[in-house]
Chains A and B, each alone.
Chain A
Amino acid sequence: MTILDFLRGDPGAGRVVPPAGSTGRLVGLGTAAMAFLAVFAIALAAMLFRLGDSWRTDLADTATVRITSLGEARDADTETALEVLRTTPGIASARVIPDLEQQALLEPWFGKDLPLDSLPLPRLIEVATEGGGFDARALDLRLAGEVPAARLDDHDRWRAPLARAQGRMTGVTLAALALIAATLAAVTALAARAALSANAQVIDVLRLVGARDTWIARAFVRRITLRAFLGAAGGSLLAAAILATFPAAGTAGLPALRPGGLAWALLVPVPLFAALVAWITTRRSALRMLKGRP
């Protein structure tokens, strides 16, 4: 049986099952709620992916050199370090972070009136890479030889935990989606059993006239699957409409929850997936239940 056949349906099978009533409403509402949650879970997963991606990109393309010497030596060390960096292949630019900018970076932790002059803060040189980046070990050795007060931080130690954190967050989101799919499966399986139980007489009559169990199951399965699809489509559209009201740009360093561009396409499979889950679980439940009937 093709998908087209399923959508077209058997007009006879469609007629023999009485109108769905409360069971159909349960399936529609249940799948709408699950699809609504699934759309938000997917939007959240997409946002986390973009966040992790931007973290990784930002950290991978930059490095920091700290000059820990003080007083006049610091200026000299800074100049020497800048010279070393300028002549290192793979480095696009290097600039000393001005005191005001450094103060802005520390402001969230120490407040506005931070007396930078009186604190033994290192001078920071921001390094931007190009091409495949630089050889961190070679640069580290060179700096150690020419500027002992300079320390290279290529951000490698930050990237690993961030990747782990992103992996965990993605795992949690996938688990949430799996939970939603399982709940959807349970709702549709229960609906199938309820529909079959409520229509015991219909099943007896159909068997009396020689209907095969697969045919009987198909009549119920198609109806429940279409209900699930329509419910999920409604839930997805509602969630998408709400997402569309969210700002397109992120705030506080976080990307926007609202999907952008092609990311909207990620939401299209939600009703189809809900219908597939409904079809599989309803069919299994219906056939199992019919098998259990004499």
Chain B
Amino acid sequence: MIDLSQVTVAFGGRVVLSDVTLSLQPGDFFFLTGPSGAGKTTLLRLCAGAMAPAKGEVRLFGRPLSEMTSDARASARRRMGIVYQDTQFLDHLPLEENVLLPFTVRGRLDAELRAQADDLMTWVGLAGHRAALPPTLSGGERQRAALARALLTAPELVLADEPTGNLDWEMSLKLLTLLIELNRLGTPVLMATHDLALIRAAKPLVNARVLRLKDGQLTQAGAAL
């Protein structure tokens, strides 16, 4: 579904990713770890087609990113559930509108989707915040809303950047369980996290692998959990 082949990314002469190769296929569950600034977010943005590598090739759903038009990249993103750490919301719109954004841009919002969004927001504990503007919410609430939005589209794969970074343990486990449920249905998940306790908690639940990014190199800590 997503293939990175010998990808190199540099910012201002500083190499962030060097010769990274990764393949995300149906059923895969990857935890992506590494120190801050190691390039986890960059790797996720590459997978989302939000940036191009300096060297190497990125393929989204079998198509080379370099040959994709902006429309094709947008179509690919519609098949993904993406959760970033920041810049995820339109601050002037209520939270419910933000959660429904993937369908707003598709031009198809109906009562059924609104009901689904409602259920998801209730499930992530945001039932009372539908009309709230994003800047008035805590970091944890925003992350839960971002995850609800990513899952509302029934994505073919999930890319999540520290989705539990601001959540309490109970909510973190709840979200992890949901991602594992999705994965059991065949949805690949690539989740960047520095929470080793969460990775350990996933061990009995999913056949996940841990990737480690350090000094621009991606190593498969390999071993399935």
Binding site for B on A (CB under 8 A): 10, 12, 15-16, 18-19, 201-202, 204-215, 290-291, 294
Contacts and interface: CB of A to CB of B under 8 A. Distances in A.
B138 interface: no
Contacts of B104: 12, 15-16
Leading 7 A-B pairs by shortest Cβ distance = A210-B78, A211-B105, A12-B104, A209-B102, A210-B77, A212-B74, A213-B70
Interface of B: 48, 50-52, 70-71, 74-75, 77-78, 82, 84, 87-93, 97, 101-102, 104-107, 109, 149
B105 A214 contact: no
8 contacts: A12-B107, A16-B104, A205-B88, A205-B89, A207-B50, A212-B75, A215-B105, A294-B52
B110 to A, nearest CB: 12
A212 to B, nearest CB: 4
A209 B87 contact: no
B70 A206 contact: no
B74, B78, B91, B92: most-surrounded residue (chain A CB, <10 A): B74
A216 to B, nearest CB: 8
Contacts of A291: 70
A212 B106 CA distance: 9
Contacts of A294: 50-52
A293 to B, nearest CB: 9
A103 to B, nearest CB: 78
B101 A205 contact: yes
B58 to A, nearest CB: 12
A213 B70 CA distance: 7
B105 A12 contact: yes
A208 B77 contact: yes
Contacts of A206: 101, 105
Contact of B92 (A12, A18, A290): A18
SS class, residues of chain A in contact with chain B: helix
A253 to B, nearest CB: 60
B74 A207 contact: yes
A210 B93 contact: no
Nearest to B72: A212
A12, A18, A214: most-surrounded residue (chain B CB, <10 A): A12
Contact of A12 (B48, B74, B77, B109): B109
B101 A204 contact: no
Contacts of A212: 70-71, 74-75, 105
A11 to B, nearest CB: 9
A284 to B, nearest CB: 15
B52 A214 contact: no
Contacts of A211: 74, 105
B52, B84, B104, B105: most-surrounded residue (chain A CB, <10 A): B105
Given A210-B75, A211-B105, A291-B70, 20 more contacts: A10-B107, A12-B105, A12-B109, A16-B104, A16-B105, A18-B91, A204-B87, A207-B50, A208-B84, A209-B77, A210-B77, A210-B78, A211-B74, A212-B71, A212-B74, A212-B75, A212-B105, A213-B74, A290-B70, A294-B51
Contacts of B77: 207-210
A101 to B, nearest CB: 77
A190 B101 CA distance: 28
A15 to B, nearest CB: 6
A275 B146 CA distance: 38
Given A16-B101, A206-B101, A209-B102, A214 B51 contact: no
Nearest to A204: B87
Contacts of B48: 208
Contacts of A207: 50, 74, 77
A208 B88 contact: yes
B149 A209 contact: yes
B77, B78, B84, B101: most-surrounded residue (chain A CB, <10 A): B101
Given A205-B90, A207-B74, A290-B70, A15 B97 contact: yes
Nearest to A210: B78
A201, A211, A212: most-surrounded residue (chain B CB, <10 A): A212
Contacts of B105: 12, 16, 206, 209-212, 215
Contacts of B107: 10, 12, 215
Contacts of B102: 209-210
A170 to B, nearest CB: 45
B57 to A, nearest CB: 16
